[in-house]
Amino acid sequence: MGAQNSQPFTVPEQEEIMAETGFSQANVLRLYQRFQALDKDEKGYLSKYDLENIGTLAVNPIGDRIINAFFQDGAVTTDFRMFARVLAHFRPVEGPGESGSINSRLNKLKFAFQLYDQDKDGKISRAEMLQVLRMMIGIQVTDEQLECITDRTIQEADKDGDDAISFEEFAKSVEKLNIEQKMSLRILK
Ligand SMILES: [Ca+2]
Ligand SMILES: [Ca+2]
């Protein structure tokens, strides 16, 4: 009775998660506590509904898209390992030598790209771009302005003229942006 509290606390699959995500032990522990706090019914997994309680996602215009990223291949729940893996994309880059890790620029870009490419055909179509722009800036502009912004965004990035943005074109178009910083949500807070 009550003996659990005297055990040293370990997170399930802690080592694997640290290796996979680059989170420190302290980070993993903090994330796990966050996970448990979100898992109000102590189910051992999170549903979309649970994730909607993350404040930074609730106020993010594409928060729904980010939430969906936790649920790959039609899953309706996310376990802690998946939770940590998705959040690792938002871990700030702490220095060189992290090129292979989940939070590298390339992986951050891939993550961002899939938030647009909802049908996963490897291209952001005009319709897909319009949807995201509507979420991000929709309330401030008219539909007509939104169509114009979409066309301009596509035109600027679309180098091969297929009226869609491939991953390469996407990466190129955001080359000058500080993706490392933009994709570093302070989700751990
Ligand atoms: Ca697509
Ligand atoms: Ca193209």
Per-residue model confidence as pLDDT tens digits over 141-150: 999 999 999 9
Q: Can you give the pLDDT at residue 68? A: 92
69 phi and psi, to 5 degrees?
Answer: -65, -20
| Percent of the chain whose pLDDT exceeds 70 | 90
For residues 112 and 183, the answer to whether their CB atoms sit within 8 Å is yes
CATH number of 96-182: 1.10.238.10
Break the chain into its structural domains and give their ranges. Answer: 11-88, 96-182
Q: Can you give the pLDDT at residue 4? A: 52
* Lowest mean per-residue pLDDT among 13-22, 157-166, 179-188: 179-188
Ligand nearest to the CA of 164: 2
| Interval between CA 150 and ligand 1 midpoint (Å) | 15
11 phi and psi, to 5 degrees?
Answer: -90, 135
Question: What is the rounded distance in angstroms from the CA atom of residue 60 to the CA atom of residue 163?
Answer: 28
Ligand nearest to the CA of 166: 2
| Interval between CA 115 and ligand 2 midpoint (Å) | 17
| Interval between CA 130 and ligand 1 midpoint (Å) | 12
pTM for the model = 0.84
- pLDDT at residue 6 is higher than 60: no
| Interval between CA 121 and ligand 2 midpoint (Å) | 13
The CATH-assigned architecture of domain 11-88 is: Orthogonal Bundle (1.10)
| Percent of the chain whose pLDDT exceeds 90 | 63
Q: Can you give the pLDDT at residue 186? A: 60
- pLDDT at residue 1 is higher than 60: no
| Interval between CA 139 and ligand 1 midpoint (Å) | 24
| Interval between CA 4 and ligand 1 midpoint (Å) | 49
11-88 and 96-182: same fold? yes
Q: How confident is the model at residue 7 (pLDDT cuts 50, 70, 90)?
A: low
- The tens digit of pLDDT for each residue in 88-139 reads 998 887 766 566 788 888 999 999 999 999 999 999 999 999 999 999 887 7
Closest CA relative to residue 155, chosen from 181, 173, 140, 171: 173
Q: Can you give the pLDDT at residue 189? A: 46
Question: What is the rounded distance in angstroms from the CA atom of residue 25 to the CA atom of residue 104?
Answer: 19
